[in-house]
Structure 1
Amino acid sequence: MTNPNVAESPILFKKGRFKKETLLKLYESLLMPRRIEEKMLILLRQGKISKWFSGWGQEAISIGAVEALSKDEFILPMHRNLGIFTGRGIPLERLFAQFQGKKSGFTKGRDRSFHFGSTEHHIVGMISHLGPQMAIADGIALAHKLSKEKKVCLVFTGDGASSEGDFHEGLNVAAVWKLPVIFVVEHNGYGLSTPSEEQFAFKQFIDKGPGYGMESVKIDGNNILEVYQTIQNLASDIRKNPRPVLVEAVTFRMRGHEEASGTKYVPKELMSTWAMKDPVENYERFLEENGILTLEEKSRINDKIKIAINEGLEKAFAEENIIPNSEEEFNDLFAPFTQRVIPAAESLKSEKRFVDAISDALKQSMEKYPNLVLMGQDIGDYGGVFKITDGFVVQFGRDRVRNTPLCESAIIGTALGLSIQGYKAMVEMQFADFVSVGFNQIVNNLAKIHYRWGQNADVVVRMPTGAGVAAGPFHSQSNEAWFFHTPGLKIVYPSNPYDAKGLLNAALEDPNPYLYFEHKALYRSLSETIPDDYYTIEIGKAQLVRNGNTVSIITYGMGVHWANTIVDEMECDADIVDLRTLLPWDKEAVQQSVKKTGKVIFLQEDCLTGGIGAEICAWISENCFEYLDAPVMREGSLDTPVPFAPSLEKNFLPVERFKKKLQDLIVY
């Protein structure tokens, strides 16, 4: 078996005009991750750490990059980039505490190894899904561009991870928007055990750059001086002329994907060839042969590194194991924020459709927050498919009202990157159904990032949702339950224009991630006289929209209108509780209604099985049992995809079944 990455040996270093201090600094910086690796492999065998992802043989890429950039420029590393963390001067005791799951680690024991970031050190860590960090880098770079900062962002990916769709989306967005990002592909020949020829059909990554409309550069990833000089030159140029560049760093991984994997799948001759190109040994030899590194200096640097590692480990090992505190776990789900409800001015009101109320909220929030950026497909000159942002480009400009390529995952990731730089972002899904393509970014990045390492995600994702418009299975789904199960998200779902405006304003104020569901069928069918001025509604507070004593109907969204119509038809004495907020939902309001009526039914447009009603009905059964005079009931749509034909769709929706079940409950 051959490998396209095999390069000549030994490494040919070009001393050029490098100062001696620079050459020695690079040596010390290069040596630190290697010495830490040696120590970690011992600790792994001793059972003192649980897992280790080795970057042995690839250290020159991380060190060359981190030393080439300014300290205040963000880097997004991956598993094999230990040198980024040490190169940014992260205290070793905190780094080792992170590896051991101690409280002083960056994730407080909630995540492992390199799955963390530190805004203080301008590092954004990865998640296990490998690709999503590409779009986050786009967002950080977009923030630089919007703020007119002459900075660059650098993000790493592996050759295996380049098979992910996020790789394509991240590069494409950066190219289209001319974002100052350096994409570094560490081409080490394998994705775990899968060789490059089984990952892709091309031979080198620099062939991909032109396809995206960006420059590509290929470098010897084991040559610390070539990496350093190339990244330094590119960064300097990109700061003046913002654009993305794809850098292919050819290297090899000398140990397993992680230590348990081993390297038996790698031909021995390939390992031998690349062992000759060890980046640390070759650079050390070069410095010695050129009289730059003396035995005395070499000994001093090694002793300094050894002492630092041992002291860091001693402090990390001395730290007590974490004592769990559930309250702290819940508190760290979200960035601290106390909502101050802004009441509506009573003087100025006008009639607005549901769609107008949403547009009104967006416009007033854009005026209130100059750092708010709107992104979505066709939201620019076209005004969005539902015309909610019609005219926004003229008022706010193309920088803040951004048409996006058709790539939901990248745009959500970009929104998170903006948030890391202190911006607010609103992402419009053209239809809520399409959010499935961006699912990973929402449930694994937006939802978990504050819990993991304290970074907030100031992002609102707007979701035009619901059936009743004969749009079929891919434009009509109710998918709020997909996210209801995910800690770290907030979900709102208004049923009327007044709430639509107030809840969207409130969501945009909060520096935490929101999903904002808006029913398409209500856009132009529902009007209401509401305040013209800016106002907000309390998040997590339900609304009693109808007061009765016989039965409690708990619902939200379109269900509120169905319930009202049916109660009118039946002339029954019912409480109708509009949840408005699904996460968090108002337990107190539900309990008060159940206590009063003794009978309760939950109505949802979503399919019945596994819906939000199931959870809330279970909670009622567990917490309100003594007040019940009948079984807790629920009704929802059929457990099928949403059909297209109007008659089939009507049968799919729960209206008639709900009416029958409500009658049964009342006479129970």
Structure 2
Amino acid sequence: MIEEKMLVLLRQGKISKWFSGIGQEAIAVGVTSALKADEYILPMHRNLGVFTTRNVPLPRLFAQWQGKASGFTKGRDRSFHFGTQEYKIIGMISHLGPQLGVADGIALADILKGNKRVTAVFTGEGGTSEGDFHEALNIASVWDLPVLFCIENNGYGLSTPTNEQYRCDNLSDKGVGYGIESYTIDGNNILEVFTKVASLCESIRTNPRPVLLEFKTFRMRGHEEASGTKYVPSELLSKWQEKDPIENYRQFLMETEIIDEELQSELQQDIEQEISASLKIAFGENEIEDVSEEIGDVFKSSVYQHFKVNTEIKNIRLVDAISEGLRQSMERHDDLVLMGQDIADYGGVFKVTEGFVGAFGKDRVRNTPICESGIIATAMGLSINRMKAVVEMQFADFVSSGFNPIVNYLAKSHYRWNEPADVVIRMPCGGGVGAGPFHSQTNEAWFTKTPGLKVVYPAFPYDAKGLLTTAINDPNPVLFFEHKGLYRSTYQDVPSGYYTLPFGKASFLREGDAITIVSYGLGIHWALETLDKQPQVQADLIDLRTLMPLDMESIYTSVKKTGKLIILQEDSLFGGIASDVSALVMENCFEYLDAPVRRVASLETPIPFAKNLEDNYLPIHRFQKELLSLLAY
């Protein structure tokens, strides 16, 4: 009845879009009914029955579809693109795949907490072709996670029929390759759906494992209403119309005298009144006019906890400082889980986590399959189920395989529906070590562009340890860049105990009044080398340390003093941090400048392997020339 009403409102222009689940209702209702109220369920855009079965208030649901403030996303997203911790429902994003990995993370947290719970996640038959589907099934299989993977096979991915999407007889056959128990179920029979799923849930709660369920069903309307159903043969529609799950169940209830016409009429009247009253509330709400919270809601607000440094210090390398910060954070946070390729017994390719398994166990220090997207989504699931996660990219370059869940899930969840992503992604990065185009990138600018992510890039052991502990304390997603060329070449006196350093506060390494030099990461060491060779240059040298948030105030203060600014970055020039720093200084300090702002960066090419080519690519030798030229301007 809600669906029918929405189709009317759509034609009237009172809602903008509708994805119909008519013909598929038994799956959402049956699966949700088989789960307990405290078990998470991750639906898609045809699963209205999940929300009604969980008794989500209709006024809020209707307000969500109209973009009103009382909806679940304050007008920032539509349809079922939201989650609600109150009802343990975690909605989809339009990039369908990541939610499968998120279900893995939720289930992993339940295992680690000793909760005997099941997590159910939905996808369509089209979604089974995505890499995230295979990654999520493999992770769940290897880790014995209690996840119900529910495929709604409704015959078409938008207009593409199943015979153009896969060649196996049943999608449940795909479970065999992952060693996963799997079943094909009549998705239009509510009794079969509920009975089978309820039985499986009881079994999974005591014997945790993933199960793949294929529900055979049919979508009676278009992918969304605008696309229609002209591509569907009329005889196929007629065949499935006879299998309508609601009508057949109604007939069953009548024949078994569980209900009669009078009771059905009463129920329909009650529901119609509830729908009308709820729509009146939603329609009566004003359109959103107050935009004052937009920027403030991008990140979860958090109070920086300052832990003072202790007096005992050790002279250690950058890699040791990161390892110490990670180890002490594991000791402080019992709910922190580390994940990454080869990080357990092997200790990671850079040995950052060497010895961690002995100290914390394999439950919390987890080797992962090679599947960056799936593991980052799993980290998000851990966060949703109130745990912390640190994911190590073996090399920062490989994060491209997990780009989607970072920029579309982690970065946007708090803004969309007030759900933080308590995830740190460690990024061993950078050139100068002859590692070539796929192990040398410093790709921080991929992420500073994306609202909702914090980006940290320390150059020294002291900063690395203190900023890493802060990153782990922060409930927001943090990309933590670690220059592998500095891992074992940079030493510093570092406090042996636990301490933190604030985000958004740059460090002044040298002071002078002739010019301002801004850099970060390996670039800071190049700048120090250059200044040591040119002692006559009196410069403010600013190490940004964090790129988001960015300490522009320190830069403005310095530029107002010196009148000249040069920015050095290891990344290639166009679209990098230097560009934004330059633009902001030009906009805010133009009248103080005595010369154009100068940017120095690597060549606009991929990073080459051969030493001479890499030396030519990197800007270290060009920096001195540009610095002296700007001073002479």
TM-score between both structures, scaled by the size of structure 1: 0.94
> In the alignment, which residue of structure 1 is the partner of 2:400?
436
> In the alignment, which residue of structure 2 is the partner of 1:355?
319
> In the alignment, which residue of structure 2 is the partner of 1:18?
none
Q: Post-superposition shift, 1:587?
A: 1.1
> In the alignment, which residue of structure 1 is the partner of 2:572?
607
Q: Structure 2 CA distance, aligned partners of 1:293 and 1:340?
A: 60
Counterpart pick for 1:635 among 596, 600, 605: 600
Q: Post-superposition shift, 1:591?
A: 0.4
- Would you say 1:88 and 2:88 are equivalent positions? no
Q: Post-superposition shift, 1:200?
A: 1.1
Q: Deviations over 1:315-364 (max 9, x none)?
A: 00000000032x31111111120102212112x11111000000000000
Q: Structure 2 CA distance, aligned partners of 1:486 and 1:206?
A: 37
SS of 1:329 mapped into structure 2: coil
Aligned length: 632
Q: Post-superposition shift, 1:664?
A: 0.9
Q: Post-superposition shift, 1:268?
A: 0.8
Q: Post-superposition shift, 1:547?
A: 0.6
Q: Structure 1 CA distance, aligned partners of 2:591 and 2:172?
A: 69
> In the alignment, which residue of structure 1 is the partner of 2:256?
290
Paired residue type of 1:271: L
Q: Deviations over 1:284-312 (max 9, x none)?
A: 01111121111111011111111111111
- Would you say 1:510 and 2:487 are equivalent positions? no
Q: Structure 1 CA distance, aligned partners of 2:467 and 2:630?
A: 32
- Would you say 1:385 and 2:349 are equivalent positions? yes
> In the alignment, which residue of structure 1 is the partner of 2:110?
144
> In the alignment, which residue of structure 2 is the partner of 1:540?
504
**What does 1:15-30 align with in structure 2 at a 5 Å threshold?**
none
SS of 2:83 mapped into structure 1: coil
Paired residue type of 1:552: T
Counterpart pick for 1:566 among 530, 537, 541: 530
> In the alignment, which residue of structure 2 is the partner of 1:584?
549
Q: Structure 1 CA distance, aligned partners of 2:322 and 2:542?
A: 22
Q: Structure 1 CA distance, aligned partners of 2:27 and 2:365?
A: 37
Q: Deviations over 1:643-662 (max 9, x none)?
A: 00010000000111221111
Q: Structure 1 CA distance, aligned partners of 2:432 and 2:267?
A: 71
SS of 1:342 mapped into structure 2: coil
Q: Structure 2 CA distance, aligned partners of 1:92 and 1:244?
A: 32
> In the alignment, which residue of structure 1 is the partner of 2:145?
179
Q: Post-superposition shift, 1:86?
A: 1.1
Counterpart pick for 1:313 among 261, 264, 279: 279
> In the alignment, which residue of structure 1 is the partner of 2:378?
414
Residue range with higher mean Cα deviation, 371-380 or 197-206: 197-206
Q: Deviations over 1:504-548 (max 9, x none)?
A: 000001111100000000000111111000000111100001111
Q: Structure 2 CA distance, aligned partners of 1:612 and 1:312?
A: 49
Counterpart pick for 1:623 among 588, 605, 611: 588
Q: Post-superposition shift, 1:636?
A: 0.5
Q: Structure 1 CA distance, aligned partners of 2:631 and 2:544?
A: 22
Counterpart pick for 2:617 among 652, 658, 667: 652
Q: Structure 2 CA distance, aligned partners of 1:227 and 1:40?
A: 26
Paired residue type of 1:547: E
> In the alignment, which residue of structure 1 is the partner of 2:198?
232
> In the alignment, which residue of structure 2 is the partner of 1:330?
295
Which structure 1 residue ranges, 5 or more long, are not aligned? 1-34
Q: Deviations over 1:143-188 (max 9, x none)?
A: 0100111100000000001111000001000000000000000011
SS of 2:60 mapped into structure 1: helix
Q: Post-superposition shift, 1:487?
A: 0.4
Counterpart pick for 2:39 among 59, 70, 73: 73
**What does 1:241-320 align with in structure 2 at a 5 Å threshold?**
241-320=207-286
Counterpart pick for 1:153 among 105, 119, 123: 119
Q: Structure 1 CA distance, aligned partners of 2:544 and 2:290?
A: 32
Paired residue type of 1:473: P
Paired residue type of 1:111: D
Residue range with higher mean Cα deviation, 299-308 or 107-116: 299-308
> In the alignment, which residue of structure 2 is the partner of 1:365?
329
**What does 1:84-163 align with in structure 2 at a 5 Å threshold?**
84-163=50-129
Paired residue type of 2:300: A
Paired residue type of 1:194: T
SS of 2:377 mapped into structure 1: helix
- Would you say 1:457 and 2:457 are equivalent positions? no
Q: Structure 1 CA distance, aligned partners of 2:592 and 2:182?
A: 69
> In the alignment, which residue of structure 2 is the partner of 1:63?
29
Q: Structure 1 CA distance, aligned partners of 2:104 and 2:632?
A: 59
Counterpart pick for 1:394 among 335, 348, 358: 358
Counterpart pick for 1:168 among 116, 134, 153: 134
SS of 1:541 mapped into structure 2: coil
> In the alignment, which residue of structure 1 is the partner of 2:486?
522
> In the alignment, which residue of structure 2 is the partner of 1:339?
304
Q: Deviations over 1:602-636 (max 9, x none)?
A: 10000001111101100000001011000011010
Q: Structure 2 CA distance, aligned partners of 1:85 and 1:177?
A: 29
> In the alignment, which residue of structure 2 is the partner of 1:208?
174
Q: Structure 2 CA distance, aligned partners of 1:428 and 1:173?
A: 16
> In the alignment, which residue of structure 2 is the partner of 1:190?
156
Q: Structure 1 CA distance, aligned partners of 2:577 and 2:47?
A: 42
Paired residue type of 1:301: L
> In the alignment, which residue of structure 2 is the partner of 1:20?
none
Q: Structure 2 CA distance, aligned partners of 1:586 and 1:150?
A: 46
Q: Structure 2 CA distance, aligned partners of 1:589 and 1:107?
A: 36
Q: Structure 1 CA distance, aligned partners of 2:174 and 2:131?
A: 14
Paired residue type of 2:344: G
Paired residue type of 2:448: F
Q: Post-superposition shift, 1:596?
A: 0.9
SS of 1:643 mapped into structure 2: coil
Q: Structure 2 CA distance, aligned partners of 1:104 and 1:169?
A: 36
SS of 1:624 mapped into structure 2: helix
Which structure 2 residue ranges, 5 or more long, are not aligned? none
Q: Structure 2 CA distance, aligned partners of 1:80 and 1:648?
A: 54
TM-score between both structures, scaled by the size of structure 2: 0.99
> What is the root-mean-square deviation of aligned Cα atoms in Å?
0.6
> In the alignment, which residue of structure 1 is the partner of 2:459?
495
Q: Post-superposition shift, 1:418?
A: 0.5
> In the alignment, which residue of structure 2 is the partner of 1:596?
561
Q: Structure 2 CA distance, aligned partners of 1:184 and 1:241?
A: 19
Q: Structure 1 CA distance, aligned partners of 2:236 and 2:79?
A: 28
Q: Structure 2 CA distance, aligned partners of 1:319 and 1:364?
A: 50
Structure 1 stretches of 4+ moved >6 Å = none
SS of 2:13 mapped into structure 1: coil
Q: Post-superposition shift, 1:78?
A: 0.3
Paired residue type of 1:321: E
- Would you say 1:44 and 2:33 are equivalent positions? no
SS of 1:246 mapped into structure 2: strand
Q: Deviations over 1:236-257 (max 9, x none)?
A: 0000000000000000000000
> In the alignment, which residue of structure 2 is the partner of 1:473?
437
Q: Structure 2 CA distance, aligned partners of 1:366 and 1:292?
A: 56
- Would you say 1:405 and 2:369 are equivalent positions? yes
SS of 1:252 mapped into structure 2: coil
Q: Structure 2 CA distance, aligned partners of 1:159 and 1:403?
A: 30
